[in-house]
């Protein structure tokens, strides 16, 4: 009786574990077959698996399915792992290796990746994820089966990686790249597959996007030719346009081919209606053959020739846009465009054809054209909801940031993931980890001389912030976050004034290495010097140039500069170095109407509890001063300058203007002075200057 009960309980446990889903037997065959692709997708996207949410019994069933197939194909575990699974708390990757046949190349690895997770069951029903990404997993399995059965194995080893948590910040792939055995591995190429078997926007039939071939023209030609042979229109697109959408992002900072194959988005994207019967399996098979041939080429090539970054735009990408825009224009109602959006598509198509016909297509022209595409059509192209960015300008800004600062963003996120993995070892701890970094791109630093002999400095400096927070009980109760801030810097004046301005900016945050690195880059540009990163090195160089004896003397001299920006920063620096001599200079500045109001307000702000009667009486002298701060100073980035067309600069000005119009309540000099008097003395005589003088003379030392 006890034995029967144990058997019954074991059976019940297995039923719960697999969600009443049976694992079908695999019929091993070398050819990529339409029916087998369909079988894989129907299994993975069935309602019983409830959307393959990470950390669920249904997810475990999928892993059981994958491991069974990997074992059938003769794959071995990754690195020193005992099995195919790589658990990381939030989810579990499934990794298998097909060893290479060439003793000299077998330690080199080509990765073929496809994530197996999806969006789970929600209020609107089960998110089946047939195209996203049961299709990619099906293709991965069929290619693994095909290559495993070849009489002659590929020269290099091939890693088949089915990542978890792609829908959660692409966590699975980033976790994989943070492992010690990955860092030691010789990865030579990565191919990621996500979304296959549907028509882009439901109107572009028999097409396959390939991302990441812009620097590998020979490889691109081979892929395009494979597409022709398979009856598929291969459409090259630049990596920067696609953005951080897919597991290939985790590998993009590596100096290797990193490719992404996809059919693109469709009306059922990230909806419960993304079901198995809607896929075109013959088209999916053709796409699979192109991807298989690409993996085969990468695994056997002597070497993949890489070009230097192009000085010209990518005309193959332009041809892609001409093809897509013509399809969208002809089927605008099916795409879901209104008459106004159709007109925008027509204009973009004309622009693309004009650029394609031109003899020279520059990188700058490409950037401008992609900005138009991003602003007007990227939500349609990618399925992004513009409300998440609040405006089309916000969406364009995010796209620009990734295109320009991709490496720093990726590595900053990897640091957050590494911190998360270390936190896994402390299960019962409560932690909040932050990773922040500045990044100054070369094209976002512009220093020029005007016809009048003055110099102008334009800078766009973003700061990226990644965070990880976890509760005090279980590791997977944590979460990752991302935010950014940005500063637009504009300074005009003599070259020496610009030098002083830059050195003062460097002194603002000496503890942050990335901030210092950014401003050292600026100083090198402005001065033409190539000094070490130390602020003291630059300071000593500047002191010798201007003849000051030490930092305090230099700062005190700059407080009285005619350059508003330099004077304001010098006052701030004087406060940090606790300059006692600064007080008498500031007491002269506060009542001086010829000095810019921003400098006078800064001088008032500098005064502290050690000010003495001289400083307090200087405040009393301006209690009736009606001069008021001008909002335009805070929006003074040169709107006609070289960064005026930068999406982030434009968006930042727009946001700042709205904020100031709603919240701006400027104080007069007198009101600033009164507030400072109250703060320093803990007294309140309002605007009564005589009462203030009487109290100060009686209670405060000179």
Q: Is 613 helix (H, G, I), strand (E, B) or coil?
A: helix
Q: Show Cβ contacts of residue 426 under 8 Å, excluding neighbours closer than 6 positions.
A: none
Identify whether the C-beta of residue 401 lies closer than 8 Å to the C-beta of residue 443: no
Closest CA relative to residue 41, chosen from 158, 138, 153, 157: 138
Predicted confidence at residue 428, as pLDDT, reads 58
Q: How far is CA 117 from CA 69, 94, 171, 376, 478, in A?
A: 17, 11, 11, 31, 19
- Which whole number is the average pLDDT over 618-622? 95
Predicted confidence at residue 385, as pLDDT, reads 44
- Which whole number is the average pLDDT over 283-301? 97
Q: Is 299 helix (H, G, I), strand (E, B) or coil?
A: helix
Closest CA relative to residue 285, chosen from 32, 114, 26: 32
Overall size of the chain counted in residues:
702
Q: Is 232 helix (H, G, I), strand (E, B) or coil?
A: coil
Poorest-pLDDT segment among 367-376, 569-578, 590-599? 367-376
157-194, pLDDT tens digit by residue? 999 999 999 998 899 999 999 998 998 999 999 999 99
Q: How far is CA 321 from CA 314, 316, 372, 597, in A?
A: 11, 9, 12, 52
Predicted confidence at residue 483, as pLDDT, reads 86
Kindly tell me if the per-residue pLDDT of 107 is higher than 50: yes
Predicted confidence at residue 14, as pLDDT, reads 40
- Which whole number is the average pLDDT over 15-30? 63
69-105, pLDDT tens digit by residue? 999 999 999 988 899 999 988 899 999 999 999 999 9
Instruction: Label residue 389 by pLDDT band (50, 70, 90).
Output: very low
Stronger pLDDT, 493 or 302, i.e. the higher one: 493
Question: For the stretch 74-93, what's the b/e string if a residue is b when 16 or more beta carbons lie within 10 angstroms of its beta carbon?
Answer: ebeebeeeeebbbebbbbbb
Report the distance separating Cα 197 and Cα 278, nearest Å.
8
Output the pTM of the full model: 0.87
Site of tokens 């475990």: 60
Predicted confidence at residue 551, as pLDDT, reads 95
- Which whole number is the average pLDDT over 650-667? 82
204-255, pLDDT tens digit by residue? 999 999 999 998 999 999 999 999 999 999 999 998 888 888 999 999 989 8
Predicted confidence at residue 661, as pLDDT, reads 79
Identify whether the C-beta of residue 99 lies closer than 8 Å to the C-beta of residue 243: no
Predicted confidence at residue 306, as pLDDT, reads 78
Instruction: Report which DSSP code applies to 309.
Output: P
Predicted confidence at residue 377, as pLDDT, reads 73
Predicted confidence at residue 6, as pLDDT, reads 41
């Amino acid at each position: 009786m006890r034995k029967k009960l144990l058997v019954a309980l074991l059976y019940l446990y297995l039923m719960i574990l697999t969600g009443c889903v049976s694992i079908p037997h695999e019929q091993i065959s070398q050819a990529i077959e339409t029916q087998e692709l369909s079988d894989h997708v129907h299994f993975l996207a069935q309602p019983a698996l409830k959307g393959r949410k990470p950390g669920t019994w249904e997810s475990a069933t999928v892993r059981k399915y994958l491991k069974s197939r990997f074992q059938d194909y003769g794959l071995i575990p990754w690195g020193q792992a005992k099995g195919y699974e790589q658990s990381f708390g939030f989810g579990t990757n499934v990794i298998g290796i097909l060893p290479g046949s060439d003793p000299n190349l077998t330690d080199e690895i080509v990765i073929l990746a496809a994530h197996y997770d999806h969006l789970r069951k929600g209020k609107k029903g089960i998110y089946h994820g047939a195209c996203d990404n049961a299709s990619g997993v099906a293709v991965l399995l069929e290619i693994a089966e095909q290559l495993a059965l070849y009489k002659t194995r590929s020269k290099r080893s091939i890693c088949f990686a089915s990542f978890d948590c792609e829908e959660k910040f692409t966590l699975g792939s980033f976790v994989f790249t943070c492992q010690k055995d990955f860092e030691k591995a010789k990865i030579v190429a990565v191919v990621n597959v996500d979304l296959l078997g549907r028509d882009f926007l439901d109107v572009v039939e028999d097409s396959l996007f390939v991302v990441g071939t812009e620097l590998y023209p020979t490889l691109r030609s081979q892929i395009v030719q494979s597409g022709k042979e398979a009856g598929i229109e291969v459409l090259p697109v630049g990596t920067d346009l696609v953005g951080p959408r897919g597991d290939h992002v985790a590998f993009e900072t590596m100096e290797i081919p990193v490719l992404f194959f996809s059919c693109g988005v469709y009306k059922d994207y990230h909806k419960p209606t993304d079901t198995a019967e809607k896929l075109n399996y013959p088209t999916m098979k053709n796409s699979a053959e192109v991807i298989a041939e690409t993996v085969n080429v990468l695994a056997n090539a002597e070497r993949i020739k890489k070009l230097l970054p192009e000085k010209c735009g990518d005309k193959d990408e332009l041809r892609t846009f001409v093809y897509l825009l013509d399809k969208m224009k002809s089927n605008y109602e099916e795409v879901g465009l209104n008459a106004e959006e159709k007109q925008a598509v027509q204009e973009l198509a004309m622009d693309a054809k004009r650029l394609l016909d031109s003899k020279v297509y520059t990188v700058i022209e490409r950037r401008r054209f992609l900005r138009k595409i991003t602003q007007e059509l990227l939500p349609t192209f990618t399925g992004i909801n513009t409300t998440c960015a609040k405006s089309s300008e916000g969406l364009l800004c995010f796209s620009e940031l990734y295109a320009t600062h991709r490496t720093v963003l990726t590595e900053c996120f990897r640091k957050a993931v590494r911190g998360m993995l270390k936190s896994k070892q402390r299960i019962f701890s409560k932690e909040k980890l932050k990773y922040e970094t500045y990044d100054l791109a070369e094209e976002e630093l512009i220093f020029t001389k005007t016809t009048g002999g003055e110099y102008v400095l334009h800078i766009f400096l973003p700061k990226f912030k990644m965070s990880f927070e976890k509760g005090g009980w279980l590791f997977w109760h944590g979460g990752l976050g991302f935010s950014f801030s940005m500063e637009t810097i504009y300074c005009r004046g003599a070259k020496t004034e610009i030098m002083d301005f830059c050195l003062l900016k460097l002194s603002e945050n000496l503890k942050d290495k990335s901030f210092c690195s950014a401003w050292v880059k600026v100083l090198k540009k402005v001065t033409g010097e190539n000094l070490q990163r130390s602020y003291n090195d630059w300071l000593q160089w500047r002191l010798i140039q201007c003849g000051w004896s030490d930092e305090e003397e230099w700062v005190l001299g700059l407080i009285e500069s005619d350059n508003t920006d330099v004077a304001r920063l010098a006052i701030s620096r004087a406060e940090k170095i606790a300059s006692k001599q600064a007080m008498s200079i500031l007491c002269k500045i506060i009542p001086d109407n010829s000095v810019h109001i921003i400098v006078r307000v800064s001088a008032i702000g500098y005064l502290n509890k050690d000010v003495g009667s001289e400083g307090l009486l200087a405040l009393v002298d301006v209690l009736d001063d009606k001069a008021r701060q001008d909002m335009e100073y805070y929006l003074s980035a040169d709107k006609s300058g070289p960064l005026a067309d930068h999406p982030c600069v434009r968006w930042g000005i727009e946001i700042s203007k709205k904020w100031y119009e709603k919240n701006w309540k400027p104080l007069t000099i007198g009101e600033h002075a009164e507030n400072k008097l109250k703060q320093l003395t803990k007294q309140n005589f309002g605007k009564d200057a005589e009462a203030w003088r009487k109290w100060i003379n009686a209670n405060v030392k000179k």
